[in-house]
Structures are given as C-alpha cells and as structure tokens.
Amino acid sequence: MSPYPHLLAPLDLGHVVLPNRVLMGSMHTNLEETRDWNRVAEFYAARARGGVALMVTGGMAPNREGGVFPGAAGLFGADDVANHRVVTKRVHDAGGRIAMQVLHAGRYAYCKDCVAPSPIKSPISPFPPNELDEAGIEKQIADIATSAARAREAGYDGVEVMGSEGYLLNEFLVTHTNKRTDRWGGSYENRMRFPLEVVRRVREVVGEDFILIYRISLLDLVPEGSTFDEVVTLARAVEAAGASILNTGIGWHEARVPTIATSVPRAGFAWVTRKLMGKVGIPVIASNRINTPEVGESVLAEGCADMVSMARPFLADPEFVTKAAQGRAEEIAPCIACNQACLDHTFSGKISTCLINPRACHETELTYDPAPVPRRIAVVGAGPAGLMAALVAARRGHGVTLFEKAARLGGQLNMARMIPGKEEFEGLVAWFETMVAKAGIDLRLCAEASVSDLKGFDEVIVATGVTPRDPEIPGQDRANVLSYVDVLAKGAEVGKRVAVVGAGGIGFDVAEFLVQGGDSPTLHPEEWRAEWGVADPETRRGGVAAPQPEPPARQVTLLQRKPEKPGRRLGKTTGWIHRAALQMKGVKMLGGANYERIDENGLHVTFGPSRENPTLVEADTVVLCTGQESVRGLADALAREGIEAHVIGGADVAAELDAKRAIDQGARLAARL
C-alpha cells in the first residue's frame, strides 16, 4: 500500500497519463537568462529523475513588451527553439514531462513599452503602461499563440498560460485595471474575451494532443477583483476554449497579503481551489504553501483538488516524489518558505538557489562526488554551517565526527523556530537530525571539543558560530535588560512594555515574538485570514476584507541607530510582511537613535549626530538584539598549536550571517575536501 495513495495515483489526461498528482510549479530562477542550456537542462532533468509528474518552466515572454524585465527569456526564433530542445530532450531522456509557461507581464513588465488594457500604473512599477488598441490586442494574442506553437516545436509536452497574479490576462478580467468601453471591456463577457481568445488560439495552434494548463486567479486579493461567480464563469469558458488543466493562482503581486511566505499556513489557500471542484470537468490543481507529501496527500484526500503544485520544495529537494514513494519522506529536505535564496535572488537579478540545497540551479557546478581518499574529519559546532559540512563530507565517503556543546543540534535555528510564523524551522532542525543519523555521522552532543580532542583528525572544520554583540550601553547590566538569547532560548520573563534595541532580522523576530499573545496564527488558518483581511470571494469581491489583527500582547518599541526606516534591509520579498505584521500590532519603530542609558524607567535615547530630542522609551524590559560577534576561541587555539583548521559560518564572518550563507559555505567546503 502506497504511503500516499492520492498523491501517487496516476492522472489520465486523455492523450497522456501522468504517473502521479505532483506538478512542479513555475519558478523564475534566472537560469534561462544565462543561456547556458546544459545548466538549464540539468536543473530540470534532476527534478524529472526525482519522479515529479510534470514540470512547468519559469515564465517565457511571448514578445519583448511582455517580458517581466528587459532581456527576459522567451522563444523568439529558431535559435531559441533549438536551445529549448536541449532542455526538453534531457527531461524526456530522464523519463519526465515539461510544459513551458507563457507569461505576458502586462503592466508589471519592467519597461516603458509595457502594455495593458488601460493606462493605469501599477503601485509596484514605475512605468505607466501603454493602452492597447485593437491591433495591439491582436498582436499580443498572436504572439502568445506563436510562442505556444514554438514550445511544441521545441519538444515541450504542454504550455501553461499565465492568467493570474495580476499579469496581462488577469488585467483584462477586472475593472481594477480594465476601464475599456470597447468589446474588450465593460461587461464581464467582454472582459473575459482576451484570456478566452488566448486559450482558443493557443489550442488551435498546438493541436489536441498537447497539455494546456490555464493558471486562473481564484483570489485576486486586490480591490475590484473578481467575484467567485465570475471565476467559475471564466473557468468553464476556459475549459470550453480548450484548456486541459486549471492551475490555481492566488493574489496579485501588488496585493498586501502574504501568499507564499513562511508565515502563511500550510496549504493555506486550498479552500479556494476546493470551491472550484465539481464546477468544471477538467482537473484542478491546488497551490501555495504545500511543502510535504503529508500536506499534499491531505489536500487531495479532502477533495480540495485533483493535483497539487509545489515549486520551491523542488529547489529544496529534487527527489521529493521518489523519497515519498519509497517511504523516506523524513529524508526530504524541507522548503521552509523563507524565500531567502530563491525569490529574493530572482528579484535581485541573481540566479535562484535554495537555502537548504545550494546545489539547486548549480547542479553542473557544485557536485558532491565520492572522495578519492576517505578521511577522518572533525566538525565542531552543529549549527547550519557545521551540519551542512558534516552531511556533505559524510555523503562523499569521509568519516565524520560532529561535536556540539548544546544538547540539541541546530544552533541559531533553534531560536528561529520559536518565532510565530517561523514554525517551519522546526522541520529543518528535525531534517538535520534525521540526516545526521542516516549518514552515520558520529554525533557528540553536550561535547565542547578541545584542541586535544581534535588531534589525530585529517581535517578539522570549526563552525563554532556566534555570540551576541555587546552594545556597551550604560545600565545594560541591570535586571530589566535581556538579550535575545535569554528571551528566545531561555524563556526569560518579559514585561508588558518593551524596548527592543537593534532592528535587524533578530530584532524584528523578537518584536514579533513579543507582540504575539497566544498561539501563532500560522497554525490557525481562520485567525490568520482575519488578521490579513482574506475573505471568501463568494461574499467579498477579490477576497478582500479589512484586516482584523488581534491586539498586541505587549507594547513594543523597536529601535536602531541608522537614520533610516527600520526593516529596510530585510529580505527583498519578505521584508514588507515583517514590517506590516509589526505595524498591525502597533509596534513603534524608531531610526537614528543614540542609546544614552538604561534605568528602572526604560531606555533613554537621543536622536541624530548632535544628540537632540532626549526621549525616554518607557519600558519594563529592554531586549538587546544588536548583532553578533564570531566565536573564535577554538580556531585561535588550534592556530597556536599549528593545527590548520577550516573556519566557516559565523565563526568565520559574523556580520550579516544568515543560514543561507552558512549552509552554502559548509557545503562548498565539504564538496572539495
């Protein structure tokens, strides 16, 4: 009996039978833009080998004006078709299937030539779009159909027409962006005309034996979005126009509701997909925050969808499906939905990868080949850097001993998992525990390695991590002052009025921890939806309601010295969520502060270089979150004894350390030992 009978059941699409119900959703990785087609092919082939039923590529522009950014990849001619054939052939040789996403960005295209149904600028783009005339509309439809035809020529098994997320097709559908009075605007019938014409023309050129997925926006999460009646009307019409599968799209890019971040409940939008079940005759796919086989299985078993889409989980682990099928689900590297190495990279123009799997999108460059000569390796410190170094070294055949002075491995990850909305970090620590045990690593917990313990190893890796930085504020040794370690790791009592000193990632995390009263809303989807203002689209157009956050458990002031808006340097795609979450809880954020002293009344500050505006931030407790310093005692002691060691992670460079950099450094070191 299969451990996941629904997830692993085949799906008959008529001309083709998919082996299971798992789709790898589209991700823009910036890989195609490298034009290193061998690398692109290897990325997809690795996922095909891992058993996923069908993959969708990153969005391919149908023309220059529809590209997400200037130079965005697309299929523009014979050369491109030949390049893409390298990818499709490699995927087919690996036993997989792949569809190409055609993405016309509409007014989200980052260029002055961007086009839209009406000339209304998006709040997230500097470019007002050019209003399409009749000929312009025909050109867009023809270009989309042509690129679908080229996809078939290039050997793809299908296309996904991107109709959601606020891109061009979606823009035609709603009055928020479509103010036209001709046959492409006004009534819903008219507003549907563009996406329907696209689907009809695509089906016409690709023929019947070709998968056509339509990504439909089930919940726009913007004012004047679609009602659910309209969504159902569109879904049926798209089916009639020739689509073979409907995939779920949630939220426009400009929506002020998180839709895929780690604080979104698991499968947090499957309830919307469920509403469509039974309303159409073609399979329906659920999406967003489905990241384990258990979650996928229950989405299907509960009748929310016919298939599940997961995207980032396939960056974290290309073998997701194979491991699930073989009853090895606990070995699947978990996507923690942090966005740190995937979307944050994509939106910074860098190639995507994964915090937990630095090989993602680097398959041809970072390899874990068997070591020519197995050696004895000591790793000191079982935080992210040390753990990854130990795992990769063991995988390559080295004998690894891992020393950790705490009673549980995980290092700083153990503090992250205490933060409401960061529960996924628990799964990451658990995964490391499983993998360390399976790899046969000699794990020594509660063991502080000394220089003499390390003599006799062929290689020593020092990953001793970080310690909180001393901010040297007069009065900081008082009983009403705590460090973030006291709060998160030791459960110290915190008063009702709190000043949090330092507004980096940890200052924000601590503030979120302190304002949360009971359980994390991430674990209570209804509460989460109320907090962010997500409504049923049957009752509220676009699913938009007024946010109703719970009152804060504490009154928190968050401070930093830099004279800028706190939180500006947080993750590119997630920083706004942290800032909005704290604003909803009434957290006061102050930049440009000088910390003068702490006394029984709280924190005394002044502002600016000339120390003006003396102010008392009244606080029962002051929590210090002022960054970290490297712990290098062991590294220095080894150096004094003439023992050469590799120093990685926070012990190497503490500034702006995060798990992504630590894991990457650990993996790359162990890959070459």
**Which single residue is written with the structure tokens 């194979």?**
322
165 binds ligand NAP (CB under 6 A): no
Region 465-494 residues binding ligand NAP, contact defined as CB under 6 A: 469, 471
Phi, psi of 500 (to 5 degrees): -100, 120
Among 179, 350, 562, 565, binds ligand NAP (CB under 6 A): 562
Distances (CA, A) of 319 to 4, 136, 312, 313: 15, 44, 13, 10
Query: Candidates 52-60, 345-353, 425-433, 504-512 — which segment interacts with ligand NAP by CB under 6 A?
Result: 504-512
Strand residue runs (E) in 528-627: 555-559, 588-590, 593-599, 602-607, 612-618, 621-624
Would you say 646 and 460 are in contact if contact means Cβ atoms under 8 Å apart?
A: yes
313 binds ligand NAP (CB under 6 A): no
Q: Which lies closer to ligand NAP via its Cβ, residue 302 or residue 596?
A: 596
- The site partner of 504 among ligand SF4, ligand NAP, none (C-beta below 5 to 8 Å per kind) is ligand NAP
Q: What's the closest the beta carbon of residue 470 comes to ligand NAP, in angstroms?
A: 8
Query: Candidates 89-97, 242-250, 381-389, 653-661 — which segment interacts with ligand NAP by CB under 6 A?
Result: 653-661
Q: What's the closest the beta carbon of residue 8 comes to ligand NAP, in angstroms?
A: 34
Among 72, 307, 310, 503, binds ligand NAP (CB under 6 A): 503
Site for ligand SF4, rule CB under 6 A: 312, 315-316, 335-342, 354-356
Among 561, 588, 632, 668, binds ligand NAP (CB under 6 A): 561
Nearest one of 400, 407, 443, 465 to 657, comparing CA atoms: 465
Which among 44, 108, 167, 214 is annotated as catalytic?
Answer: 167
Q: Which lies closer to ligand SF4 via its Cβ, residue 352 or residue 628?
A: 352
Region 592-631 residues binding ligand NAP, contact defined as CB under 6 A: 625-628
The residues, any chain, with a CB within 8 Å of residue 138's CB and separated by 6 or more, are none
Q: Which lies closer to ligand SF4 via its Cβ, residue 202 or residue 343?
A: 343
Nearest one of 572, 571, 570, 524 to 550, comparing CA atoms: 524
Query: Candidates 241-249, 355-363, 505-513, 579-587 — which segment interacts with ligand NAP by CB under 6 A?
Result: 505-513
DSSP secondary structure code for residue 256 in this structure: S
Residue 413 CA, distance from chain mean position: 17
The residues, any chain, with a CB within 8 Å of residue 380's CB and separated by 6 or more, are 386, 403, 449, 454, 460, 461, 462, 463, 464, 634
State yes or no: is 4 an active-site residue: no
Q: Which lies closer to ligand SF4 via its Cβ, residue 318 or residue 542?
A: 318
Q: Which lies closer to ligand NAP via its Cβ, residue 3 or residue 471?
A: 471
Pairing of strands 602-607, 593-599: antiparallel
Among 189, 448, 538, 656, binds ligand NAP (CB under 6 A): 656
- The site partner of 335 among ligand SF4, ligand NAP, none (C-beta below 5 to 8 Å per kind) is ligand SF4
Would you say 172 and 163 are in contact if contact means Cβ atoms under 8 Å apart?
A: no
Phi, psi of 598 (to 5 degrees): -115, 135
Q: Which lies closer to ligand SF4 via its Cβ, residue 287 or residue 340?
A: 340
- The site partner of 656 among ligand NAP, ligand SF4, none (C-beta below 5 to 8 Å per kind) is ligand NAP
Q: Which lies closer to ligand NAP via its Cβ, residue 397 or residue 471?
A: 471
Would you say 73 and 32 are in contact if contact means Cβ atoms under 8 Å apart?
A: yes
Would you say 621 and 599 are in contact if contact means Cβ atoms under 8 Å apart?
A: no
502 binds ligand NAP (CB under 6 A): yes
Q: What's the closest the beta carbon of residue 630 comes to ligand NAP, in angstroms?
A: 12
Q: What's the closest the beta carbon of residue 661 comes to ligand NAP, in angstroms?
A: 8
384 binds ligand NAP (CB under 6 A): no
Among 190, 504, 572, 599, binds ligand NAP (CB under 6 A): 504
Distances (CA, A) of 327 to 18, 324, 331, 433, 469: 20, 5, 9, 17, 44
Q: What's the closest the beta carbon of residue 311 comes to ligand SF4, in angstroms?
A: 8
DSSP secondary structure code for residue 43 in this structure: H
449 binds ligand NAP (CB under 6 A): no
Nearest one of 214, 277, 225, 220 to 247, comparing CA atoms: 214
Measured from the Cβ of residue 442, the count of other Cβ atoms closer than 10 Å reads: 14
Please report, in angstroms and rounded to a whole number, the separation of the first and last CA atoms in the chain.
Answer: 42
- The site partner of 356 among ligand NAP, ligand SF4, none (C-beta below 5 to 8 Å per kind) is ligand SF4
Alpha helical stretches, state H, 50-116: 78-93
- The site partner of 315 among ligand SF4, ligand NAP, none (C-beta below 5 to 8 Å per kind) is ligand SF4
**How many separate helices (H) and strands (E) can be counted in the chain?**
21, 27
Output the six-digit token pair for 434: 């499983």
Query: Candidates 139-147, 155-163, 270-278, 497-505 — which segment interacts with ligand NAP by CB under 6 A?
Result: 497-505
Rule CB under 6 A: which residues touch ligand NAP? Answer: 469, 471, 502-507, 509, 560-562, 570-571, 625-628, 656-658
Which residues are known to be catalytic?
167
